Amino acid sequence: MKNFSNCGKVILHRLIFSTLILLAITSYSASATVSFQPYKLPASSDTIKISFTGDVMQHGGQIEAALAMGDGLDYVYDDAFKYMTAKFKEADLMVANMEMTVGTKPYCGYPNFSAPVEIAKAAKESGIGLFLMANNHIADKGEIGLKNTFAYYESIGEPTTGVYKSRKEEIEQDPIIFTIKGVKFAFVNFTYDTNGMPVPDPYYVNLLDITEVKKIIARARDKNADIIIACPHWGEEYHLEPSAEQEQWAKMLFREGVRVIVGSHPHVPEEGYIYMEPDQGPEIEGNVSQSGNVNKMVFYSMGNYISNQSDPAYTQVGTLLQLTFIKDNFTGKISIAMPKWEYTWCFRRGEFLQDYTVVPIEDFINSEDYANGAATPKQKVAFSKMAHTYQFIKDKHLIKICSFDSQFRSEMYVSARLEK
């Protein structure tokens, strides 16, 4: 009887120990896994929306049109954002690449961009809450251009990232972190080049340098960022597909802990890939809603938001991307929902309204403005061009949903060996 009792105690102790181990493993898995349950929200949860749009540019024709809108006295950009402001303000944070300097006269467009400050003011008032500055035109006007740009952005209280007043400031402030509803988002922004224009001392521009980019991402991890978002200015202009170099960079960024990549520079929308966990089924194309675990995402280029470009036609197409993150307030787990995206169109002067005007294409095609608005031959040509180009882009199925499977994981680490 004594032996049986001792044996029972041993069995009981082992059972309790095994149960505790199982609970510990389950608890660890729950905290370490970022999963996605878009239609089964936790009883106590917060939803965070972060949106991105394409390049905000100012060519000479746009500057002239803005001055005409102000009767030659002021630069007026009322039409630039009027159809997009409501959508921008749906987000907790709206992000855009500001591909120009501001405030340095004489104002001019390509190749050395310097725009009136009013475009930045209008962008901020539309709801854009983070200006990305690391791009190939940020040094176009040298020291005075950077000085005036920083001075104005600071005067309106607009957060910026990617360019700094000194290397010391970059180390202290990069990456910029937004804490939204208790979730910490780190943004890293860098550019492939500044078109050969020297960056005047002591200013500092983040460049696509593997060692430096890894340092910035490491700082994000050290600051306990929950989600790291990379915004690279990269790629080949006017290509709808990413280059091999972009793909290699994306794999490296994923490997370092970046969850979302949103690119700029090509001036056209490029392919995007939404990587689901491997148990979520085969690849699905198109803008669909689907439950499942979103692991990582890369959108290689958002295209142009506003510019004077029109050839090829899809330089007038931009992307509005909305990302949704869900925080379970009970477990602390952060889920990434299936993103939403739609395409925008930039009408040039007189093609719709008097000034350059950006519209959400799908909404516009279904509106009375589209049905009744083409009053002039120029407008009719512009409306037809928009419809045909939009159909072309839709038929390309640029955004693809696929599995973050073992093959892709192995490719990430093959690329790591190639970097060495």
176-180, strands of its sheet edge to edge: 176-180, 183-191, 227-233, 260-262, 294-299, 272-276, 399-403, 284-285
Alpha-carbon torsion 234, 237, 238, 239, what sign? negative
**pLDDT-based confidence at residue 293 (cuts at 50, 70, 90):** confident
Q: Domain spans of the chain?
A: 45-419
pLDDT of 409: 62
Structure tokens at 358: 């950006």
d(CA 82, CA 80): 6
Quick check: helix, strand or coil at residue 189?
Answer: strand
Q: What confidence score (pLDDT) does residue 138 get?
A: 98
Q: How big is the chain, counted in residues?
A: 420
pLDDT in the model for residue 414? 55
Rg of the chain, C-alpha, whole Å: 24
27: pLDDT strictly greater than 60: no
pLDDT value at 182 more than 50: yes
3-state secondary structure of 153: helix
Q: How far lies 40's CA from each of 240, 275, 292, 294, in Å?
A: 35, 20, 11, 15
Q: Which two tokens stand for residue 225?
A: 């960022």
| Beta-bridge partners for 114 | 101, 108
pLDDT band at 112 (very low <50, low <70, confident <90, very high): very high
Q: Is the pLDDT of residue 32 over 50?
A: no
User: Which tops the pLDDT comparison, 28 or 88?
Assistant: 88
Provide the percentage of residues in the chain whose pLDDT is more than 90: 76
Q: Give me the sign of the Cα torsion angle 160, 165, 169, 175.
A: positive
State yes or no: pLDDT of 407 exceeds 70: no
pLDDT at 335: 84
Mean pLDDT value of segment 115-139: 98
The residue ranking higher by pLDDT, 397 or 18, is 397
The answer to whether residue 164 scores a pLDDT higher than 70 is yes
Q: Choose the weakest-confidence range: 10-14, 166-170, 310-314.
A: 10-14
Predicted confidence (pLDDT) at residue 374 exceeds the cutoff of 50:
yes
* Three-state secondary structure of 154-185: HHCCCCEECEECCHHHHHHHCCEEEEECCEEE
pLDDT greater than 90 at residue 17: no
Q: For residue 231, is pLDDT > 90?
A: yes
Q: Compute the mean pLDDT over every residue in the chain, rounded to the nearest whole number.
A: 87
Q: Which residues contact 258 (CB under 8 A, 6 or more apart)?
A: 188, 217, 228, 229, 230, 296
Whole-angstrom distance, CA of residue 256 vs CA of residue 61: 42
Q: In the predicted model, is pLDDT for residue 385 greater than 90?
A: yes
**pLDDT exceeds cutoff 90 at 394:** yes
Sign of dihedral through CA atoms 192, 197, 200, 201? positive
SS3 assignment, position 290: coil
* DSSP line for 16-50: HHHHHHHHHHHHHHHHH-----TTS--SSEEEEEE
Q: What H or E segment, with its residue span, contains residue 306?
A: strand 304-306
Q: Is residue 280 predicted with pLDDT exceeding 80?
A: no
pLDDT band at 419 (very low <50, low <70, confident <90, very high): low
Q: What pairing do the DSSP bridges indicate for beta strands 284-285 and 399-403? A: antiparallel
Find where tokens 């989600």 sit. Answer: 227
Asked if residue 170 lies in contact with residue 210, where contact means CB atoms within 8 angstroms, the answer is no
> Average pLDDT of 23-42?
40
Higher-confidence residue of 332 and 243: namely 243
pLDDT tens, residue by residue, 320-331: 999 999 998 998
User: Among 367, 26, 326, which residue's Cα sits nearest to residue 357?
Assistant: 367
The residue behind tokens 């780190």 is 186
| Average pLDDT for 209-231 | 97
**pLDDT over threshold 80, residue 277:** no
Q: What is the pLDDT of residue 44?
A: 83
Average pLDDT for 354-383: 94
Whether pLDDT at 5 is above 60: no
The residues with which 183 forms a beta bridge, in sequence order, are 180
Least confident range from 66-75, 127-136, 234-243, 285-294: namely 285-294
Residues 45-419, CATH architecture:
4-Layer Sandwich (3.60)
CB proximity list for 65: less than 8 A, separation 6 or greater:
349, 354, 355, 356
Q: Does 311 have pLDDT greater than 90?
A: yes
Question: So what's the pLDDT on residue 416?
Answer: 56
pTM for this entry:
0.86
Task: Output the CA angle 303-241-366, nearest 5 degrees.
Answer: 45
Question: Residue 145 has what pLDDT?
Answer: 98
pLDDT value, residue 276:
85
Backbone angles phi, psi at 187, to 5 degrees: -115, 125
Per-residue pLDDT at 285 exceeds 80: no
Distance, CA of 27 to CA of 205 (rounded, Å): 42
Is the torsion defined by CA of 301, 303, 306, 308 positive or negative? positive
pLDDT score, position 375: 87
